[in-house]
Amino acid sequence: MSSKIPQAFIDEVLQRSAIVSIISTYVKLKAFGNNYKANCPFHHEKTPSFSVNPSKQFYHCFGCGASGNAITFLMEYKQLDFREAVAYLAQECGMPLPTLTEEDPEKKERFDAAYALCQTVAKRYEKAYSQHSMAQEYMEKRGIKPSVLSQFQIGYSTDAWDTIVKALPTQQALLVELGIITKGKQRHYDRFRNRIMFPILNEKGSYIGFGARTITDEIPKYLNSSDAFIFKKGFELYGLYQALQSKRRLEHIIVVEGYMDVIGLHNHQVKNVVASLGTAITKQQIQKILRHCDKITFCFDGDKAGKKAAWKALLTAMPLMHKGAFVKFVFLPEGEDPDSFIQQHGKSAFAQYFSCAQDLPDYFFTRMQAEHSGTGISSKAQFIESCMEIIDTVPQSIFRSLLEDQLQQIAGFSVPKQSATPIRTRGKVKRSSGTLNKLISICIHHPAVISQIHAHIGDDQVVQALSPTLLDLCLWGIKYPQGNTGQLLEHFRHHQHSARINALAAQDLLLSEDSLVDEAIVLLRRLQSQTQQNQINHLLSKSKTAILNPEEKQQLQQLLIEQKMPG
């Protein structure tokens, strides 16, 4: 479900935000003429090529091509989504985020109904837990405190086939859609039976699904509600909401494998812990963690399955390491899990064990060396090629360069560096003296010019037909005569030619500001003349192979007259 932030609010936030102040929080900037320079935070470099222009409210790296406004920087550097980036800037400016206007009221109503129904079911499970001694005895044997049970709203699904079905007879269609009950050939029945229930909440505290653990020997041991429109297992993390309640800004997050691991660690006051939902950790889950902190420790069992899961986590995390993340791995003694370990050894021993966690690069190279332990040339070549295949998933960054340097040290000789994966696909425009590109560039770099040349464009259908982009820029410039480059880029973020606009914004405009208007008018007239001549050539060429219709003859005659008129 998405809500639209009013464009006027976004404009005001960008107008009040000082891009130099925002970026300097994370990057050491130095004054360089009217701009500021630094080593690019998005790729490794020795000579600064990252430039920030305060008057245009725009940044650009001449090395890797990263560019944009303050919102783009926060989205790229801090991995925030658009709404989070705007909210961050609004908070910095002291502007309360407005009540969001819903793009689809019916969609909101549907989501709200689903959240409310999940919460109702969770409360029924919680009440059932308080009424069934078998469930209580199971959790008591695990040593879980009542306060933790209450915090996570632990519940119980009875052994009956239709407890939820009968309790909520008018909601069966939605319950099926949410994966809480199942539709059989003749009737509905509960999906979860005789299980400890773990309500799953999203970051905002809305109820979105359930995890369930059997209290007998039933297979499977763990069961989740199926994916639905409010719940995607690969995007959510169990315990993240509770972790954020304990400390709004987390410095470090521990990732474990199971619901009971999260509960068990909270039971010993280790609250910065989350779990994937019965699946291997996904890119989306890691990105969600990195929005809250840059330090992650993956904790796995020391058995074969745990090591396999850890390697999958490493491969998933590797492409995200250029963002300045710190990732470590801990392997518990075989036969132990986080819950059992902290119960047996205590919080201090748990913390001590974690202090010996292995950094991602160390784990990566140790694992790769173990898999390619031969001493011959072929074995060494295979080791290097296998390492580079994985390293090549990391975008240009200091982290990637250090991985390549460490590989060279291990290999004992210089390893050819492969071209890095770009951070993202960026639009490219050849450095050209093209009339249209020059004119569009002036409009982008100096939006105030647009209102001054608009009278020379008027309703010129020739120019409009040639360049819809130029027309769109002009319409924006008339509406926002005081706008800057950063605001312009925001308005065109989702434009069909946004890549072209961003690429032109990133190029140097080698023109004196005193002559911008005159230069723009000259370019516009040249563009009109070129377009006019193209139309004439087209009609003349057509007349050689076919008879022009009356409208075409009139158009050709008018174009020839206009061409002879003095400019």
| pLDDT for residue 353 is more than 90 | yes
**Average pLDDT over the chain, rounded to an integer:** 85
What token pair was written down for 46? 């020795």
pLDDT tier at 139, thresholds 50, 70, 90: very high
What's the one-letter identity of residue 201? Answer: L
**Cβ pair 406, 52 in contact under 8 A:** no
Indicate the range of 11-25, 85-99, 278-292, 502-516 predicted with least confidence: 502-516
Indicate the range of 188-197, 263-272, 319-328 predicted with least confidence: 319-328
Q: Report the CATH architecture of 3-93.
A: Alpha-Beta Complex (3.90)
Q: What is the average per-residue pLDDT within 232-245? A: 93
| pLDDT for residue 280 is more than 50 | yes
**Cβ contacts of 209 within 8 Å, gap of 6 or more:** 118, 178, 179, 199, 200, 224, 225, 228, 230, 231, 233, 236
Q: Where are the domains of the chain?
A: 3-93, 105-231, 240-363, 435-564
pLDDT tier at 47, thresholds 50, 70, 90: confident
Q: Which residues pair with 195 in a beta bridge?
A: 157, 214
**Cβ contacts of 148 within 8 Å, gap of 6 or more:** 263, 266, 267
Chain centre distance of CA 542: 52
Query: Which residue reads 């908070």 in tokens?
Result: 91
Q: Is the peptide bond before 220 cis (omega within 30 degrees of 0)?
A: yes
Q: Which residues pair with 51 in a beta bridge?
A: 37, 60
User: Strand runs (DSSP E) across 158-310, as ranges?
Assistant: 181-183, 188-190, 195-201, 207-214, 222-224, 253-256, 273-275, 295-300
Burial level of 142, CB count in 10 A (0-12/13-18/19+)?
Answer: middle
Q: Model confidence over 422-446: pLDDT tens digits? A: 444 344 444 334 777 888 888 888 8
CATH topology of domain 240-363: Dna Topoisomerase Vi A Subunit; Chain: A, domain 2 (3.40.1360)
Distance CA 175, CA 194 (A): 18
Strands 295-300, 181-183: pairing is unpaired
Check the CA dihedral 110-111-116-118 and report its sign: positive
pLDDT for 230: 95
Q: Report the CATH architecture of 105-231.
A: Alpha-Beta Complex (3.90)
Class in CATH terms, 435-564: mainly alpha
Quick check: pTM over 0.75? no
pLDDT for 422: 42
Q: What is the average per-residue pLDDT within 340-360? A: 94
Q: Which residues pair with 36 in a beta bridge?
A: 31, 52
